[in-house]
Structure 1
Amino acid sequence: MLSMTLHVKTAALAALLGSVALGAAAEDYTITVWSGGTGDTSTYRIDAIKLAAEQMMRQAEIRGDDLSITVEGQAWSGWDDFKQAFTLASEAENAPDIGVSGHEDIGPWSEAGLIRPIEDYVYFDTWPLNTIYPNLIETATFNDRVWGVPQDAEARVMFWSIPALEAIGWSQDEIESLAQRVESGDFTLYDMLDTVKTMQDEGVIEPGMGFGPRVSNGPDYWQFYQSFGGEMSDPETGKLVVDTGALEGMYGFFADAVEKGVVSNTHLGTEWDVWHQNAAAGNYGTWHGGTWHKAQWQNQFGLADFFGDVQYTLIPAGTEDGRANSITHPLVYLLSATSTEDESVIAAELIAMASAPDINALHAVKSAHLGISKDETRVPFYAADEWLSAASSRLAPHTNAIPNNSDFGTFWTAMYQGLEASWTGASTPEEAAQTVADTVKQSLGDDVVLR
């Protein structure tokens, strides 16, 4: 459990921390940081480590120590190339000292010996790490050990075009109450389909543009599984759960969206820039994305009046068995297993310092991600951001994360293949759901629960 993993460090580790600082007078350190899923608005995933290094060197100077730290960073805008690079570099024993990746990599990477538990190098019972939200620490925990430090958090959102809603006759009260109606379950995914179909029928939105889902695989689609009552893992046993009824409901919803003509059967695979341009221009009636997309739409795609043009809610429930929900996908700072012990000590201390509320707030505000601690929400720079404050109160309390199960990738791959098959009409929703169940059961055997 969490209380077991957040243990106080031994005197031996404290001595090691001190020895590195004192010994640094005769040695320079180069700390490398690789970060996946990192674009122009999320540079502080690396820059925060550079700021921490500057602070650590200033502290050493005041103590009279001659400590020199050079931070070298490399960012990948996507995930597949980054994860392949990190894995291959680890196997070649020249991995970066710090990796920034999704929390779901902790399971397979720790079992493969690619990373080392950061709890051996930092104090989670002292500031600033003791201020991080416990549920975020849980996402960095696997097999009762804390392997990483959360770097950011977010919520995934259903966005709505306010001008389009107004054009089909929605009142201001109806628009403002939408978030509460979605949260309570009064407004469902099928109500959404009816709404965007009306937008198209009345010529407010172009045919096939009523609904703009994510254009590629990602954690977002697990929200729709939950909307139809699906559970990703059993909270008691930790085993993965394949709920064929929830999969049928989810697949059937997207097949129905295609049948209604509010999204194309070829939508998956659309270029991301095309999707962003349509979202920012209000060409979709509704679309789902992440809290961080707001910064991209404003900075790169010309969205001028977010709060005037866009309403935002949880992902609606699909049935009475489901729930309105949002998935958070925290990125985490991880320590490579190929670094020397001294490099890992320095790297871990830099990660802890970079997690200070005022430093992490730079990333949150620039990238429109949510803060990692309550203290961060009180930083004036963060608190002054209307979007972060609103998302933190309306969306964040309803988020959950995908499980840190090393077999989850098998389920995830099968789920998305089933989604593609039912979306394009290659399979019926029932056939696709059964194929997922059969595939996952064959691969994982007794490690999965079928419902």
Structure 2
Amino acid sequence: MTVSKFKGAFAALMLSAAAVPALAEDVNIVVWAGGSNDADAYRITAIELAADMLEREAAIEGRELNITVEGKRDFGGWEEFKQGVTLAAEAGTAPNIVVTSHLDIAPWSQAGYIVPTEDYLDFDAWPLNDIYPNLLEIAAYNGIQWGIPQDAESRPFFFWKDTMRGIGYSDADIAALPAKIEAGEYTLQNVLEDAKKAVEMGLVEEGYGFYPRPSNGPDYAQFYQSFGGVLQDPETGKLVLDKAAMEAFYQFFADAVDAGITRKNHLGTDWGQWYSEVANGKAATWHGGTWHYARYTGKEGNEDFFGTIEFGLIPAGNDNGRANTITHPLVYLVTDQQNDDHEDIAAQLVKIASEPRMNSLHAIQSAHLGISKQQSNIEIYSNDRWASEATERLLGTANAQPNNLDYGAFSEAMFKGLEAAWTGVKSPADAVAELESELTAKLGDNLIVK
């Protein structure tokens, strides 16, 4: 990685400080965090704590550094947040640090809104060298480390234990499911079979054998991967449409509807209704996010999560696919500023906020997963059963949607095709044919079709 510019500047300041009386430096750092609520407060609070640490380090070195941190997270939604960042950057008034989706790295780096963190930080040194490599890769684009993962999550497959017992599984069988899924011994075909049994035996209502999330999201790309689909070609960086994998993915959901285990009109279900139903046993199987744990055990009143729910990777769909999960980490990005010293300081604050103990505060309070290996040795993290088990089962092998300027169009078109096959408007084969036509027209040379 690039040698830190900040270290060089820091050294020069230290030498000058030894020769002349130190002058106070007052710095105002503005942090905007998208998609955040009270539970996610540490996305900003961690920067405030880091500022205190950096001030104390400077004082020991004989300098007076005064950092004021201003945070904002009360946006009307992701669209308002991203529009705000874009307009502020264009006007030259961007916040110093933004907490956002890793998918913003591609467009914002190309637009010149953000600067590479690798220009200021040593990623071969602590604490950055302890961050999971797959998460660092997600925060990079075109071989450049633009950001640092702020948190992590994953999107597992869930089973309601009582229903599984009702169709003949012993407690030992249920406990073995995560390992069997990882080994490819329990597949999406088994999901269809077990969900159908649950409906036929009256353990769940028709349409509740497999109860997917009710709107588009990164989760659905997991099922494409389950059947062997690849989102991005690693050599060229181009997006990939594997027609056979896409058709098998669409066929799985069409089969679930035909079997009466998923409702034909399921998409668009109210999220509040969905959360309540899956958290309290109305559905036999479903998929969701690791952060759902807080909702299930909090607002939805499930007081015995581990006694009622089992979880694992999304199962493989066929021999061409694999068990998998997608993580969609938010990232810390440092914006382009007129004052390069402020970029230096912002990067240092992000580094300190990424230390295992600091990041664990956010992870546990918000029911997210950590970003680094040593967090498993931090008591507040290791003593939390959900964080520990979800990290062990899911995070180390999680992949992500690609940082590609055209991925948004790819994802929207893929879901539109899924919806057509799901609702029976088109056959899976016809839906894929239309998808190919649309993506070829929109993406051109940035798409590989196979």
Give the TM bin, normalised by the shorter chain: over 0.9
1:186 partner amino acid: E
Q: Which residue of 2 aligns with 1:41?
A: 39
In structure 2, the residue corresponding to 1:320 is in which secondary structure? Answer: coil
Change (3 A) 1:350 1:320: same
The aligned residue for residue 354 of structure 2 is: 355
Q: Contact 2:28 / 2:69 at 8 angstroms: preserved in 1?
A: yes
CA contact under 8 A between 2:364 and 2:387: conserved in structure 1?
yes
Over 3 Å counting, the alpha-carbon distance change for 1:70 and 1:450 in structure 2 is: same
Query: Where does structure 1 lack aligned partners over 5 or more consecutive residues?
Result: 1-5
The one of 29, 32, 40 aligned to 1:31? 29
Measured in 2, the distance between the counterparts of 1:339 and 1:164 equals 60
- CA drift of 1:25 comes to 4.7
Contact 2:131–2:372 under 8 Å retained in 1 = yes
Cα offset, 1:139, TM superposition: 1.1
What code does the residue aligned with 1:66 have?
A: E
Matched, 1:193 2:187: no
Question: Residue 315 of structure 1 corresponds to which residue in structure 2?
Answer: 314
Cα gap change, 1:387 to 1:9, in 2 (>3 Å)? same
Partner Cα separation in structure 2 for residue 361 and residue 339 of structure 1: 33
One-letter code aligned to 2:9: A
2:3 is matched with 8
Q: What does residue range 101-180 of structure 1 map to in structure 2 within 5 Å?
A: 101-180=100-179
Separation of aligned partners in 1, 2:405 and 2:412: 13
Question: 1:110 deviation in Å?
Answer: 0.7
Change over 3 Å in CA distance of 1:17–1:218 after alignment to 2 = farther
How many angstroms does 1:168 deviate by? 2.3
Could you tell me whether the CA contact under 8 Å between 1:37 and 1:77 is conserved in 2?
no
* 390-399 or 413-422, larger mean C-alpha shift: 390-399
Letter in 2 for 1:195: D
- Verify: 1:56 aligned to 2:54, yes or no: yes
* Counterpart residue number, 1:274: 273
Instruction: Report the CA distance between 1:286 and its aligned residue.
Output: 1.0
1:381 aligns with 2:380: yes
Residue 57 of structure 1 and its aligned partner are, at CA, apart by 2.5
- Could you say what secondary structure the match of 1:69 adopts? strand
SS in 2 for 1:73: strand
Q: CA 1:397/1:67 → structure 2, altered by over 3 Å: closer, same or farther? A: closer
Q: Which moved more, 1:70-79 or 1:238-247?
A: 70-79
Which whole-Å deviations, capped at 9, do the CAs of 1:61-84 have from their partners, x for residues lacking one?
444543322222222484333222
Letter in 2 for 1:443: K
Matches within 5 A, 1:406-445: 406-445=405-444
Task: Name the CA shift for 1:299/1:67 in 2 (closer, same or farther; >3 Å).
Answer: farther
Alignment of 1:81-120 (within 5 A): 81-120=80-119
Q: Tell me the equivalent position of 2:323.
A: 324
- TM superposition shift of 1:349: 0.9
Checking the alignment, whether the CA contact within 8 Å between 2:353 and 2:359 is kept in structure 1 is yes
Mapping 1:226-305, distance limit 5 Å: 226-305=225-304
Compare 318-327 and 295-304 and name the one that shifted more.
Answer: 295-304
Normalising by structure 1, we get a TM-score of 0.93
Contact 2:158 2:288 in 1 (8 A): yes
Q: Deviations over 1:30-59 (max 9, x none)?
A: 211112222332221122111111222333
> Does the 8 A contact of 2:184 with 2:323 survive in 1?
yes
Distance 1:232 1:136 in 2: 17
Q: Secondary structure at the match of 1:177?
A: helix
Question: What's the CA shift string for 1:105-136, capped at 9, x where partnerless?
Answer: 11111112121111112222222112212222
Deviation, structure 1 residue 24:
9.1
Contact 2:163 2:284 (8 Å CA) reproduced: yes
- Please identify, of 31-40 and 112-121, the stretch whose mean Cα deviation from structure 2 is larger: 31-40
Task: Judge conservation of contact 1:52–1:350 (CA < 8 Å) in 2.
Answer: yes
User: Distance in 2 between the 1:80 and 1:207 partners?
Assistant: 36
- 1:400 equivalenced with 2:399 (yes/no): yes
User: What TM-score do the two structures reach when normalised by structure 2?
Assistant: 0.93
Contact 1:316 1:323 in 2 (8 A): yes
Distance in 2 separating the partners of 1:321 and 1:262: 25
Cα distance change, pair 58–9 in 1 and its aligned pair in 2 (3 A): closer
Contact 2:147 2:331 in 1 (8 A): yes
Separation in structure 2 between the aligned mates of residue 19 and residue 428 of structure 1, nearest angstrom? 67
**Structure 2 match to 1:3:** none
Question: Which residue does the alignment assign to 2:201?
Answer: 202
SS of the equivalent of 2:4 reads coil
| Identical-residue share of aligned pairs (%) | 49
**Partner Cα separation in structure 2 for residue 345 and residue 272 of structure 1:** 42
In structure 2, C-alpha distance between the alignment counterparts of 1:437 and 1:203, rounded to whole Å: 40
Shifted more, 150-159 versus 76-85: the winner is: 76-85
Structure 2 SS opposite 1:317: coil
User: 1:419-440 CA deviation, whole Å, 9 max, x = no partner?
Assistant: 1222222222111111111111
Shift of 1:151: 0.9
Q: Quote the offset at 1:232 in angstroms.
A: 0.7
Q: d(CA) in 1 for partners of 2:275 and 2:45?
A: 26
Aligned match of 1:74 in 72, 75, 80? 72
Distance in 1, Cα, partners of 2:30 & 2:301: 35
Say how many residue pairs are matched: 445
- Return 142-151 or 192-201, whichever deviates more: 192-201
Q: CA deviation at 1:93?
A: 2.4
Q: CA deviation at 1:352?
A: 0.5
Distance in 2, Cα, partners of 1:152 & 1:305: 26
